[in-house]
């Protein structure tokens, strides 16, 4: 039991030395830039645009053809907007994707630079 009491003070001192993987000056700069446009997803304009995109696609993923519920589908930007407001709210730049296709396949392609 005595050893467990000694462990607690040591664990507290570790937290200041532990950093997240990949956290560096470049990553932090990108994160600060991203925050500015993230609030656009909370606007009523985006919610309407998202619903229009998903319902126009008849709740079907453009990649795999899976039919799902609206909470399982994503209105994806065909061309990444990268903070450009006009491209973000452009209905012609949206496609309906299921969450796995968006979060796995599409993100991998964008990171590789193929889109």
Statement: residue 36 has pLDDT above 70: yes
Which tens digits make up the pLDDT trace of 47-66? Answer: 999 999 999 999 999 999 99
CATH architecture, domain defined by 40-115: 3-Layer(aba) Sandwich (3.40)
Nearest to 78 by CA among 52, 100, 34, 109: 109
Residue partners of 87: CB distance under 8 A and separation at least 6: 77, 79, 81, 93
- State the pTM of this model: 0.65
Which tens digits make up the pLDDT trace of 61-74? Answer: 999 999 989 889 99
- Mean model confidence pLDDT for the chain: 80
């Amino acid at each position: 039991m005595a050893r467990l009491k000694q462990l607690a003070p040591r664990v507290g001192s570790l937290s200041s030395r532990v950093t997240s993987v990949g956290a560096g000056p470049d990553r932090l700069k990108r994160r600060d830039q991203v925050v500015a446009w993230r609030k656009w997803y909370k606007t009523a304009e985006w919610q309407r645009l998202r619903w229009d995109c998903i319902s126009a696609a008849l709740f079907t993923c453009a990649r795999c053809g899976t039919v799902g519920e609206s909470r399982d589908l994503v209105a994806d930007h065909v061309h990444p907007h990268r903070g450009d407001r006009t491209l973000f709210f452009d209905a012609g730049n949206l496609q309906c994707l299921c969450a796995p296709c968006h979060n796995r396949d599409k993100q991998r392609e964008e990171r590789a630079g193929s889109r």
